[in-house]
Every structure is written in structure tokens, then in C-alpha cells.
Structure 1
Amino acid sequence: MSNIRQKLDISAYLVLGPENTLGRDVGEIVKVAVECGFTCVQVRSKVASAKEMISLCRDCAKFISELGKQDRVALLVDDRLDVVLAAREEGIKVDGIHVGQSDIPVSVCRKFLGEDSIVGLSAPASRLIEYVKNTDVSDIDYFGAGPLHETQTKPDCGVDENGVVITRTFEELSELAKISPIPVVVGGGVKVRDLASLKKTGVDGFFVVSAVASAEDPQKASSELVSTWNQA
């Protein structure tokens, strides 16, 4: 198992793609966030081509490396196993993948990426509670749960079979944190004001998209989020 997989820190987790940054450079925002203490970065885009995604990974990996944090800050890709494999072929340090329950199975990700890679899985907290009770999670390094609030970044997140967005309660998240054998990170419209209550549930971290990537001042936003979580 790789050093970074063993030391995985999802306490402050940034998710972003070019559609989230108000036209600003993805790599530059990652650099600012990591400088301010973000511990994990996920490149996620529904509009970028595979070639563009690989380029984004290269830029993000470069900035993380320039900060000397390549062995502490994990760089992951959402959903695109092909992008992870292709980026690695080009010598880019991508540490793993994040998938949803309707994406490529985690067992397939583990098979192709190997034991040194990080594999994260996301789903609504209520579904994860059942999943944890009935499933072998040995191929998974962490759970992503949400949404805490409705979010325009991912409007289908938490939508039930009737098209209604079901947000997660702190009680649900506390139950998930209590029974989960692996770390849990929570997102979906998370703001600074949520962090103290979120930390009390026992989850291991928060993830944000627009709170940093779309912020007027990403550096100020990153610093406030990280310091608030750490002090909670």
C-alpha cells in the first residue's frame, strides 16, 4: 500500500472542474487551496474531454508537487478510470479515483489501479448506512456522503425516485460515522457555518466545490474553511 493511501487525509477536500471556476485556471485555484491547508483534491468535470481532463490532472499535480505536498495531498479523478490510467501513462501522479454507486464498480477500479491507489465511493448517507451493513468495503478507502443542502453544482445529488431532493440530517451522518469502518467526508452546499455541527457528527471531513472554486476570493474562502474545521 502506498504512503499516500496509508496517510489519506480527507478533512478538507476540494472538488472542481473548469465549469466551477468562473473562467479562472483550475490549477491556480488548487494551488491556493492546498497552500491554505486543503488535504485532498478531486478533478471532476462533465464538460471536459478526456484530453482536457488529463491536462487538468497534469496542472494540478504540478502545483501540488511545487508546494512539496505530493506525498500528503491526494489527487483524485471523478468517475473517469480511463483518464486516471492515461494520465499515469504520461507520468502524471494521480493517486486514485472517486466513483458513485452507479459508476464503474469499486472492484474494477481496484483491479485496474492496484493496491497503491485510493478508491472513494459516494452515495446518500441513508443508502451508505445500508451499504455498510451489508457489503465488504475492503476495496474502498473512504465514503463521500451528502448532500447536506441542495446544491446547484450537482442538482441531481440526493434526488429520490420521485425527483425530490433529500438532504441529509446530522443524525444520519452521526449514525454513518459511527458504523462506518472507513473514513467519511460530507458535502453538498457546505458552508463555513455548517462545519462545527458537521464535525460533531464524527465524520472525517467536508468537501466543497463552489465555496472555493466559485468564491470571489478563493484564498480567503479556503483559509476560512480550513481554519474553522480545524478549530471546531
Structure 2
Amino acid sequence: MGNIKKLDISAYLVIGPENTKGRPVATIIKEAVSAGFTCIQIRSKVASARELIQLTRQAAEVIEEAGKSDEVALLVNDRLDVVLAARSQGIKVDGIHVGQKDIPVKVCREYLGEDLIIGLSARADQLFDYIKTEDVSQLDYFGVGPLHETPTKPDCGIGEDGKVITRSIADITKVAELSSIPVVVGGGVKLADIPTLAKTGVDGFFVVSAVTEAENPKQAATNLVNAWNNYNSKTKTF
């Protein structure tokens, strides 16, 4: 997986310039990494390709400065072009996260090779059938959500009827049992959710605003990591 020793999605931050209340993306990533976050995803629907490449460069530099380039995975959401351009410029980006309507996983794998990480947002509708039947041979992990409705991504979890399907703890526990690859859960996750979430058997949680919009992002990130580590029922490595 590039230079990542093993993929750790236990504490996963999704961030873009629209999420930070005007603060530098790189600063918040630095604080999250120092607090123990293990995976960073650059995601923006407003930034240009050039801006995304620059954000990816800054994130890679911050991770390297922390001495965690072989531990913390740096991913880009949706934009295979940005991943390829960043890598051609010598930026250490470790993979991509895609949704159902993005570039197909098979195409991502063809361009990125076997060593890079590919994560996929599992479909909200028919979730259990999907997790059981999807060909996971090209994938490294599933993203599942939302746990709650979230203003950060209002279309997250929309079913065929246009209504948002949120995930109960029972659903999440079942997904963890069914999935043959690691599962990370998010969508409106707050500190209060972590103890329950950590006991479901999933491999991690992802957050956006709980860290990126916090008054003190480093403290918020630290609290989330500590809560996960205190309550996590799983010591599985992969």
C-alpha cells in the first residue's frame, strides 16, 4: 500500500477548504495527525484540481513533518486525476476514496496499481446485499453512513425514494459482521457516539465537522481518538 505499513482507518478525517471556518486546511490536518488520527481524506466539491493538488501536497508535508508518512494514509476523494497528477509531481498520496457514481473501482485500480488504497462508499439502499455480493478483491475498505443526517454532505445515504437512510447501531454491527474487508462509519459522528460505535466491531469512525469546525480542533481530535481507544472492542490488524 505505497509506503503505508498497514492501513489503519480507526480515526479518519475528511476535510476540504469549505469545512474549516476559513482556517488553513493544513493546520487542522497537522493538529488531527498530532492527536492520533490515522487517515486523512482530502475532499472538496468547490476546489479546483490545482487547489486540490496543492492541498494534497500540504497534507503530505504535514504528515511527513510529523514523521508519520508510513503510518497515516493520505487519500483524495473522487478525483483520480488529482491523485495521478499529485503522484506525478512526487507528492506522497496513498490512494482514493470513491462513491457509487464516481469513477469505477476497476478503473481506479488499473491506473493506481496494486499498492495504492481504494476505499468505496457502500450503497445506502440494499446495504447488506451489496456488502455480501460486491466484489471486494479490488477494495481496501468500505465507508458506511450516515450515522446521523449531516449538513456537511446532505445527499449522504439517500435511498431510491429520495429519503435519507441513517444507520442504526444494529445495522452497523451487522455490516461489520458481514463485511470481509474493513469498515469505517461516519456521517454526523460526534464524541458522544464513539463509545457505542467502537463496540460494533467496525474498524473505525470518520468525521468532518466534529474536528474541522471545532473551536479547538486538536482538542476535539484528541478526545475522539482517546474515546475510540478506550472503548474499542477490536484489536484486529490487517
Q: TM-score range by the shorter chain?
A: over 0.9
Q: What percentage of residue pairs aligned between the two structures are identical?
A: 66
Name the amino acid aligned to 2:109: R
Name the amino acid aligned to 1:98: H
Secondary structure (helix, strand or coil) at the match of 2:189 reads coil
Secondary structure (helix, strand or coil) at the match of 2:120 reads strand
Question: C-alpha distance in 1, partners of 2:146/2:39?
Answer: 19
Question: C-alpha distance in 1, partners of 2:220/2:175?
Answer: 28
Contact residue 124 and residue 159 of structure 2 kept, 8 A = no
Number of the residue aligned with 1:170: 169
Show structure 2 runs of 5+ residues with no match. 232-238
Name the amino acid aligned to 2:75: L
Secondary structure (helix, strand or coil) at the match of 1:75 reads strand
Contact residue 42 and residue 77 of structure 2 kept, 8 A = yes
Number of the residue aligned with 1:138: 137
Secondary structure (helix, strand or coil) at the match of 1:42 reads strand
1:111-138: CA deviation from partner (whole Å, max 9, x where unpaired): 1001110000002455442122222201
Number of the residue aligned with 2:59: 60
Deviates more, 1:118-127 or 1:146-155: 118-127
Number of the residue aligned with 1:153: 152
Q: Under a length normalisation based on structure 2, what TM-score does the superposition of the two structures give? A: 0.94
Name the amino acid aligned to 1:225: L
Number of the residue aligned with 1:97: 96
- Cα 1:21–1:175 shift into 2, 3 Å: same
Number of the residue aligned with 1:200: 199
Q: Under a length normalisation based on structure 1, what TM-score does the superposition of the two structures give? A: 0.97
Deviates more, 1:33-42 or 1:158-167: 158-167
Contact residue 124 and residue 168 of structure 1 kept, 8 A = no
Number of the residue aligned with 2:112: 113
Question: C-alpha distance in 2, partners of 1:123/1:132?
Answer: 7
Name the amino acid aligned to 1:200: K
Contact residue 147 and residue 189 of structure 2 kept, 8 A = yes
Give the length in aligned residue pairs: 231
